[in-house]
Structure 1
Amino acid sequence: MEETAEKTLELDDGRVNLACFLLAGNTYAIEVAHLREVVHCQAVTPLPKAPALIEGVIDLRGAVVPVVDLGRVLGGEPVKQDERARIAVVQVDGLVLGMRVEAATHVASVETGRLEEPPALATHSGYDAVRALLRQPDGAPILVLSMDHVLEAVYRSALPGGESGP
């Protein structure tokens, strides 16, 4: 996998901890090292003239946190708003961001050798938000996201004529 500013954070025993969540029936994951906390969804205050992917902000114990709908960031449908929906609060390079997801499911500690490269078609098309795949026991993939590329998509949406996903 291509090395970016985002480092793969391995434990001493060659393992990585992944926080898993659902979006549109698929399981996604981010490295636990980027996750600050997961909170119940709350009212988001819209920001005038905010970038296309920024829904608004929430007050999280006195801190103002911008929130994005991760479904939209990844170019899909907006997250279903129900009792299972959560906001995953992440921190990357000092930036704190809330990502709305359909449900937080579990944390997995996996051997790094089990992580597979994303399909060549995905990386050659410029879609590099998925940095690795992890097979579940039933064969279904868990898509491990690159937080650098998720943030890049949010930043691009702030540009004139900005895009709506990675």
Structure 2
Amino acid sequence: MVGNPDFSMGKTQDISSDIERLEMPEGELHLRFYLPSNSEFALSATGIKEVMNQPPDRITPIPNASPLLLGTINLRGQVIWVADLGQFLGDTVALNTQRQEIPIIAIEDQETMLGLAIEKIGEMQWLDIAQIQMQTNVPNHMAPFIRGEWILDRESNQSLRLLDQLAILRSARWAA
């Protein structure tokens, strides 16, 4: 390897100039995703335990549970509740559970874990928290769970809303 011409001084200088051109990410890492109404949201990656796709027959319905809950799944020996995030937030379009797999984002705080069933997983992206704005025209039933929003396009009024995992996990709505 030492005799390899790729390890010459000229190549080392090329590599260092490539490294200088790489941009350091700014902000915090977030997962972007969609609800059935095609509304886009984000969650901070630090509160996400796992992202998975589950077949609907692996979600066990529990009688007399909140209508917001689809049931439970077994995640490596741990039983966790799976909730319809869209219904929880008051989304007007129902989650399609008649498909091969349902995307689920498992969020966690201390010993509490909850699976959030969504329509579609987006991408991981570094987002600058300093650019977040107070939410505009958010329904009252959704407002306690939103930390703010990034304006993506002012002309089309497109925004990306940042959800508060802790507010979702600790919500009194789960008892209903």
**Fold agreement, TM-score > 0.5:** yes
Runs of 4+ deviating beyond 6 Å = none
Gaps of 5+ in 1: 1-12
What is the aligned counterpart of 1:113 among 111, 122, 130? 130
The correspondence of residues 12-31 of structure 1 with structure 2, limited to 5 A, is 15-23=27-35, 24-31=37-44
| 2:59 alignment counterpart | 44
How far the C-alpha of 1:27 sits from its partner, in A, is 0.8
Give the greater-gyration-radius structure (CA). Answer: 2
Is the alpha carbon distance of 1:54 and 1:84 closer, same or farther for their aligned partners in structure 2, counting shifts above 3 Å? closer
**Quick one: distance in 1 between partners of 2:101 and 2:40?**
14
CA deviation vs aligned residue, 1:31-71 (integer Å, no higher than 9, x gap): 10111111112221111222232221001122111100111
**Quick one: distance in 2 between partners of 1:26 and 1:156?**
21
Q: Is 1:135 matched up with 2:148?
A: no
For normalisation by structure 2, the TM-score amounts to: 0.71
| 2:164 alignment counterpart | 146
CA deviation vs aligned residue, 1:57-97 (integer Å, no higher than 9, x gap): 00112211110011111112332234574011110232111
**Quick one: distance in 2 between partners of 1:145 and 1:72?**
15
Which one-letter code corresponds to 2:119 in the other structure?
A: E
Q: How many residues in Structure 1 have an aligned counterpart in Structure 2?
A: 144
How far the C-alpha of 1:14 sits from its partner, in A, is 6.4
| 1:88 alignment counterpart | 105
| 2:75 alignment counterpart | 60
Would the aligned equivalents of 1:41 and 1:100 in 2 still touch at CA under 8 Å? no
**Quick one: distance in 2 between partners of 1:57 and 1:84?**
15
